Structure 1
Amino acid sequence: MTLAALRQSAPVLDLVRSFSLEMTAKDVESLDAAAALIPAGTPISVTYLPGEELPARVAAAKAVKAHGFVPVPHFSARRVLSRGDLMTFLTTLRDEVGIERAFVIAGDPPAPMGPYEDALAVIRSGLLDTAGIKTVGISGYPEGHPDIDKAKLAQAMKDKLAALAEQGKQAEIMTQFAFDADAILLWLERIRQDGVTTPVRVGIPGPASVKKLVRFAARCGVGASAKVMMKYGTSITKLLSQAGPEQLIENLAERLDPALHGEVMLHFYPFGGLVDTANFINRHYSK
């Protein structure tokens, strides 16, 4: 089978077909440019980055919806300054955008900047109902977390899923981006054995320079050793080269077994290259 045929094979197309994307509040113009390449109804996450104010985040979510996509605003628990700020964000999204989905994460500050220690605290606050949110995404870490051991990560996932179930909300797990198919598949198998049946969106990088990939990996605590990068299909010695996730996607599609790994979709991290990522998906995996 040729490389082009492999990328158009049924397992690959099935895996890519229900993909989601990520953007920042600064990417509205890029979204405008990429919109024609993205299927209607695609979930697009709007991140909660430091230095981006509420109006910009809301405007980005509004742009996502205006293009016919599904906005999934992020809530970074430790960056929320007060209960009132969280309420304002939620009610503004409700009134100006209309949302049914959100992604809640602890965030990277070492200590909370307000009353919320972690994602579970935001979920348990009950305020997500204020915006009519029905589906909540939570985080997953196939390659582990630099500051939290695996047992604590597993328990935190169970606690969040239990809290969402108690509130009658749907859940989805969206993972940190990863390079290593072996690590992803092992993690999926482990959480399924642990009783987690929630759909998972596996985070993978969009096309980017190796230098950018390694930089983001170091910032996020993702494995980026020479061995892992070779598994990914590139080398850290080729810092100026462009690298794409084709090999990772094909490896996952070939080896995923619903009986072992459950329901799995892809989530693309564009790293500022939203148009490049949309072009990449459209060029390789549209049919």
Structure 2
Amino acid sequence: MDPLSTAFPAVGTSLLEDFSLEMTGKDVPKLDEAASLIPPGTRVNVTFLGNETLRMRLDAARAVKRLGFTPVPHISARRLGSRADFEQFLVGLRADGTGTDVFVVGGDPARPEGPYKDSLSLIESGLLQDHGVRHVGVSGYPEGHPAISQEALWSALRDKSAALAARGLDGGVITQFGFDADPVLAWIEKVRAHGITLPVRVGVPGPASVRRLMSYATRFGVGTSASIAKKYGLSITNLMGTAGPDRFLRVLAGGYHPARHGTVQIHFYTFGGLKATSEWIAQFRKDVLA
């Protein structure tokens, strides 16, 4: 039996009605193009890339709000050159009304460019709540991290959850994307076993070429064995073909149990573009909820 036929009536709202998307500061024209396909109020995360200026980041968050969505600006700890840089970004977000929700991450640089070594240091700085932030997203890694041990990852997630609670901040976890739903479900159970009750948004790649998906998987250390690729729907012999996350979502829906997994939602990484991802989601929602 197709797991969607029995599982989705119970979890359709959490998985499909409250998904989130991701974009870069350069994607504003693409967001404009896709806006009519995206439900009002959808959370749109705006990345914090090293080749983007403060103005680009602020403009992107402002565009998200202008189009009727909820901006979630990223803040990359190791890319911040100083406390003043951090405050300048937060002041700009607050002035634009786009800084209530943020996502904090350590960032790509191996060495901090300023005083913040990781996302926990941003939370512990006290600046987030001082500048009107109310909800803070943090990262989760169901398949581990190529440069961080499992022990360190679990310790960091527990510490961030506790730090948010201590400061009266709401929070949530967004996971790195993957191609196998089973280890994701198992990881979420472990999150709950660690006493972490934060909602989890499972990272899912939007439809994209197989070549691009494999490239991102290699870059981020995501497992892509031949068996996992086949399970997801990736054709190794046709790298120019396109793959979407429908199989992944079906398995996730079939294995999801609220009592064991708590609140679970979906976060789409738009590797194939905002419009392609939004069109895919709209059609998938139509097919599933018909």
Give the alignment's TM-score, normalised by structure 2: 0.94
Partner of residue 260, structure 2: 260
Deviations 1:127-172 (A, max 9, x none): 1124300000000001110011111101100111111111100010
Q: 1:66 to 1:8 in 2, by over 3 A?
A: farther
Hey, what's the Cα distance between the residues in 1 that align with 2:100 and 2:79? 22
Amino acid at match of 1:143: E
SS in 2 for 1:203: strand
Look up the SS of the partner of 1:189 in the other structure: helix
Distance 2:100 2:140 in 1: 21
- TM-aligned CA deviation for residue 22 of structure 1: 0.3
Q: Could you tell me which residue of structure 2 aligns to residue 152 of structure 1?
A: 152
By how many angstroms is 1:2 displaced? 8.0
RMSD between superposed Cα atoms in Å: 1.8
**CA–CA distance in structure 2, aligned partners of residues 62 and 98 of structure 1:** 6
Q: Which range is displaced more, 142-151 or 224-233?
A: 224-233
Distance 1:7 1:107 in 2: 40
In 2, are the aligned partners of 1:43 and 1:71 still within 8 Å (CA)? yes
| Residue of structure 2 in register with 1:205 after alignment | 205
User: 2:225 aligns to what?
Assistant: 225
Q: Return closer, same or farther for 1:7/1:275 CA change in 2, 3 Å cut-off.
A: farther
Cα distance between partner residues in 2 of 1:139 and 1:195: 16
Q: 1:7 and 1:233 mapped to 2: Cα distance?
A: 22
- Structure 1: give runs of 5+ residues left out of the alignment: none
**Quick check: 2:25–2:57 contact (8 Å CA) kept in 1?**
yes
Quick one: which amino acid aligns to residue 153 of structure 1? L
CA distance in 2, matches of 1:55, 1:7: 47
For residue 135 of structure 1, what is the amino acid of its counterpart?
H
Please report how far the alpha carbon of residue 12 of structure 1 lies from its aligned counterpart in structure 2 after TM superposition: 6.1
Deviation at 1:183, TM superposition (A): 1.1
Q: Secondary structure at the match of 2:65?
A: helix
On the 8 A contact 1:11/1:253 being kept in 2, the answer is no
Amino acid at match of 1:92: G
The structure-2 alpha-carbon separation of the partners of 1:7 and 1:217, relative to structure 1 and needing over 3 Å to count, comes to farther
Cα distance in 2 for residues equivalent to 1:26 and 1:57: 9
CA distance in 2 between partners of 1:97 and 1:72 (Å): 11
Identity %: 50
Tell me if 1:131 matches 2:135: no
Counterpart of 1:143 in structure 2 is 143
Q: What amino acid maps onto 2:80 in structure 1?
A: V
Write the distance in 1 (CA, Å) between the matches of 2:196 and 2:210.
34
Separation in 2, partners of 1:12, 1:282: 17
Report whether the alignment pairs 1:94 with 2:65: no
- The match for 1:118 is 118
So what's the TM-score if we normalise by structure 1? 0.95
Give 3-state SS (helix, strand or coil) of 1:157's partner: helix
Partner of 1:164: 164
Conserved? CA contact 1:12–1:249, under 8 Å: no
Q: Which residue of 2 aligns with 1:64?
A: 64
Report the equivalent of 2:48: 48
Q: Tell me if the contact between 1:202 and 1:267 (Cα under 8 Å) persists in the aligned partners.
A: yes
SS of the aligned residue for 2:139 comes to strand
Look up the match of 1:10.
Answer: 9
Instruction: State how many pairs are aligned.
Output: 286
Please list every run of 5 or more consecutive structure 2 residues that lacks an aligned counterpart in the other structure: none
Kept in 2: contact 1:27–1:272 (CA 8 A): no
Q: What is the alpha-carbon distance in structure 1 between the residues aligned to residue 153 and residue 203 of structure 2?
A: 17
Q: CA deviation at 1:58?
A: 0.5
